[in-house]
Amino acid sequence: MSPHNKYHILTIPFNDYMVMRMARKTAPSNDQALPVLLRVARNTYANALRGPLAEQGYDDIPRNGVFIIAALSRDQAPLAQVISWLGVSKQAAGHLVDTLVLRGYLDRAVDRADRRRLTVSLTARGRAVAAIARAAVERVDDRLAKSVSAEYIAHTRTTLMALIAIGRMIQSAPLHPQPA
């Protein structure tokens, strides 16, 4: 048995009562601040990824590396947009991309259409990580769909999109008045 098996999602069927009971024992209470709940919930996906990645030999991915790889694979968004989603400085993003290139997850090349620009693409190693990440996310999402109704999941997505919109407004015009 691999030491990383503790990260696999259990396949034991749980009913709603059991899921809620387990959540109360291991998670912050329902009246916790939303940022606490969001952070702990995010860890569910991170924990589901760690074991499978390590078992396949991808244990050298830096923090936020899977986010970049998965976003480039899934959304095929421009790297600048992916970095803006990540919310880190250009310097930190540059260091992260450099590390992913050095470790063989990304390839960087001169843009054929505009030689002043660089393009970043996934290598075979990066595509393999993206597939593992996609499968891990699907396993968590499947468990979530068995734990709460589709309506609750839809409400959660709507709430998160509203929170993202508020975050963008704060970046452009902070909520608190600025000193004169």
pLDDT in tens, 54-112: 999 999 999 899 999 999 998 777 888 888 888 888 899 999 999 999 999 999 988 78
What distance in Å separates the CA atoms of residue 78 and residue 129, rounded to the nearest whole number?
A: 19
Given this model, what pLDDT does residue 82 score?
Answer: 87
Distant-in-sequence, close-in-space partners of 17: CB < 8 Å, separation ≥ 6: none
- pLDDT tens-digit readout, 20-58: 555 555 666 667 888 888 988 999 999 999 999 999 999
Question: What local confidence, expressed as pLDDT, does residue 110 receive?
Answer: 83
**CA distance linking residue 53 with residue 57, whole number of Å:** 6
Q: What is the CATH number of domain 3-172?
A: 1.10.10.10
> What pLDDT, on the 0 to 100 scale, is given for residue 117?
79
Q: What is the pLDDT of residue 45?
A: 93
Q: Please check the confidence at residue 13 and state whether its pLDDT lies above 50.
A: no
Three-state secondary structure call for residue 158: helix
pTM of the model: 0.74
